[in-house]
Amino acid sequence: MPKFEATRRVAHTPEQMFALVADIETYPQFLPLCEALAVRSRKERDGRTILVADMSIGYKAIRETFTTQVLLKPDEHAIDVKYIDGPFKYLSNVWRFEPDGAGCAVRFFIDYEFKSRILGALMGTMFDRAFRMFAEAFEKRADIIYGKKPAA
């Protein structure tokens, strides 16, 4: 039931932002709440990559791990994430990277619900805050990797 959607314009290309978000193994280095990430499998098919990964998130004394399937579609500048297992009833996450002048528009959408109402109540507000910080965390990471570009 909780959903979060954001569009952020950045001074980096769609290809650069796609590559940054697709590099999921680096998330624990810069992404809020992400404590660990392990890729279980990686398959290449028709120019696309399908990953199955476990992400461990933590906030104060709460720790949870969940498994997702990540579909990387570089030709479309798109990443789709499907929930497999963990503390959620469901989770769907979509990334789109669209050309926008000298940079791109990064579109982030997530829809999820925890299985446990208690966990949902404990984590809900914090998750909402974390999602608001995600876009900024990715933009800062892009500036570090690709260089900060001057504002137009």
Across the chain, which has 152 residues, the per-10-residue mean pLDDT values are 86 96 96 94 95 91 92 97 95 95 92 85 73 85 86 50
Whether this model's pTM surpasses 0.95: no
- What are the structural domain ranges in the chain? 3-146
What is the structure's pLDDT at 60? 79
What is the structure's pLDDT at 146? 93
What is the structure's pLDDT at 150? 57
Estimate the share of the chain in helix, then strand, then coil, as percent rounded to the nearest 5: 30, 50, 15
Domain at 3-146, CATH from 1.10.357.10, 3.30.530.20, 3.40.50.720, 3.40.50.300:
3.30.530.20
What is the structure's pLDDT at 151? 53
Q: DSSP label at 2?
A: -
Alpha helices in 52-148 (DSSP H): 117-146
What is the structure's pLDDT at 1? 64
